[in-house]
Amino acid sequence: MAGSGHLPVVAALGTAQTLAWASTYYLPAMLAVPMAKDIGVSTPTVFAAFSMALIVSALLGPYAGRSIDRWGARPVLSGTNLVFALGLAALANARGPAGLFGAWVILGIGMGSGLYEAAFSALVRLYGRDSRNAITGITLIAGFASTIGWPLSNLLEHQVGWRGACYAWAVLHLLIGLPSNLSLPRPRPLGQASGREQAASASDAVPLTGARSKRAGVLLATVFAATWFISTAMAAHLPRLLQSTGATLATAVAVGALIGPAQVAGRLLEFGFLRRLHPLLSARLAALMHPIGAFLLLFVGGPAAAVFAVMHGAGNGILTIANGTLPLALFGTKGYGQRQGMLMVPARLAQASSPWLFGLCLDQWGSGALWVSGAVGLLVFGALFAMPKPPDKPESDACPKHPSSSS
């Protein structure tokens, strides 16, 4: 369990992450329409620029993770606040498509170095295997990014226009995000473990190696890509999806509001009961929640909408934590940041394409698109079920060789 000494770091990282998500990932939902109208492009063009930012972030992620492995989190994450501020200021000054796409490329650089994967890498660089509760802690705080970001962006847009809103978010990165990330402690030199970690090393699972490690990497990249595909598809299309099952617009909006609290509830469950389980077991349980909710919604219709939203939100909340804890449990701390960045490349690409692909499914099949998201959710469960679990002891200890045996 994370000690009380972790709390200042969790609070600082959680605050910086809330700001980073609110001012980038959740920004287009509130500002895309006025942005498009003022610049003279279509709203889908704004979302295309946002998708380009996600692709840039995917390509940059492994390099950012390697930088955190080498130098620690403080220089990398504090640098992203400057990049975010620059990108938001550039967005505020965009006068045409070139300026719009250029600004989102800059923001994509910040996103590749400054969102959850970088924060998880920062915690592992600081605390090693004693990071699970700290990872949960920052996701609990940053889970409110949309709750804070959407109303604040909307308020700023009405008060000072969308350009003023972008400038305001840029200033917040300099006044809040930058000091929060600069307050992070310096990590221990590479290879130097804390006394607590040395004492616990005998009971830690042994990281996967060789062919089992490669197999786990492919399966885990599949899990992350499928999870982000579902999450982004629901974020983009949930009201319309619920209406296709017979719910009214008012009901769809009200039900959609349940997802945020359900995500936080799922993370609290991970922080409490599920932390006693191996991260692989808790991820398998979470992976089943969206498919079960989707099939209930398909067969029951509108009356099951609230149940679907709660199950999807809770499962997604737990799987967000699994993005950080599973690589740690399966592969250990060595090279965590770079590996995390590599594992998330397919996820970011799936995230960039998800709104368009799931939108086509919704146009073609209506509520039948739930068969697609449900099947993808079952793919997540299948990949997690096939995941090799690290042995409790080194294989040479667990399966000693006998003189008479031959291979």
pLDDT of 405 = 38
CB atoms within 10 A of CB 280: 19
Only one residue has tokens 């499962």, namely 315
When computed from its CA atoms, the radius of gyration of the chain, rounded to whole angstroms, is: 21
Q: pLDDT over 70 for what percent of the chain? A: 88
Cα–Cα distance measured from residue 307 to residue 258, given in angstroms and rounded to the nearest whole number: 10
Structural domain tally of the chain? 2
CATH number of the domain encompassing residue 219: 1.20.1250.20
Structure tokens at 16: 């910086």
Domain boundary among 154, 186, 218: 186
The residue among 250, 251, 258, 218 whose CA lies nearest residue 234 is 258
pLDDT at 399 over 60: no
Is 370 part of a structural domain of the chain?
yes
CA torsion sign for 19, 331, 349, 113 is positive
- Say if 192 falls within a structural domain: no
Which tens digit of pLDDT belongs to each residue from 143-156? 778 778 878 988 99
The reply to whether 142 and 211 lie within a common domain is: no
pLDDT of residue 333: 76
Answer for the pair 400, 278: CB distance below 8 angstroms, yes or no: no
- Give residue for tokens 């770091």: 9
Any domain includes 236: yes
Least confident of 65-69, 194-198, 249-253: 194-198
The angle subtended at Cα 322 by Cα 283 and Cα 394, nearest 5°, is 85
Residue 129 · residue 135 · CB < 8 Å: no
Closest to 312 (Cα-Cα) out of 261, 372, 245, 367? 261
The model's pLDDT over 279-328, given as tens digits with 9 standing for 90+, comes to 888 899 999 999 999 999 999 887 888 999 999 999 988 888 888 888 88
* Separation between Cα atoms, residue 290 and residue 389, nearest integer Å: 24
Count of other CB atoms within 10 angstroms of residue 288 = 16
Specify if 80 maps to a domain.
yes
Residues 158 and 222 in one domain: no
Q: How many Cβ atoms from other residues are within 10 Å of residue 277's Cβ?
A: 13
For residue 331, tell me if it sits in a domain: yes
- Among 2-6, 51-55, 192-196, 209-213, name the one with the lowest average pLDDT: 192-196
What residues have CB less than 8 Å from 34, skipping those under 6 apart? 157, 161, 162
Three-state DSSP at 94 gives coil
pLDDT at 352: 82
Spatial distance between the Cα atoms of 88 and 173, rounded to a whole number of angstroms: 10
Q: CA-CA distance, 92 to 35, in Å (whole number)?
A: 9
Answer whether residue 92 is part of any domain.
yes
Query: Do 278 and 150 fall into the same domain?
Result: no
23 confidence band (pLDDT: 50, 70, 90): very high
Residues 336 and 381 in one domain: yes
pLDDT reading at 233 higher than 70: yes
Asked, for residue 400, whether it belongs to a domain, the answer is no
Residues 163 and 212 in one domain: no
Taking the C-alpha atoms of residue 97 and residue 303, their distance in angstroms, rounded to an integer, is 43
Residues 173 and 217 in one domain: no
pLDDT value at residue 375: 96
Cβ partners under 8 Å of residue 189, min gap 6:
none
pLDDT of residue 406: 38
Look at residue 397 in the predicted model and tell me its pLDDT.
44
Higher pLDDT, 383 or 197: 383
More confident residue, 3 or 126: 126
Could you give the angle at the alpha carbon of 59 between the alpha carbons of 184 and 66, nearest 5°?
A: 40
Q: 37: pLDDT confidence band, cut at 50, 70 and 90?
A: very high
Domain hosting 309: range is 206-385
On whether the CB atoms of residues 216 and 276 are closer than 8 A, the answer is no
Indicate whether 182 and 211 sit together in one domain.
no
Q: Is the pLDDT of residue 407 over 50?
A: no
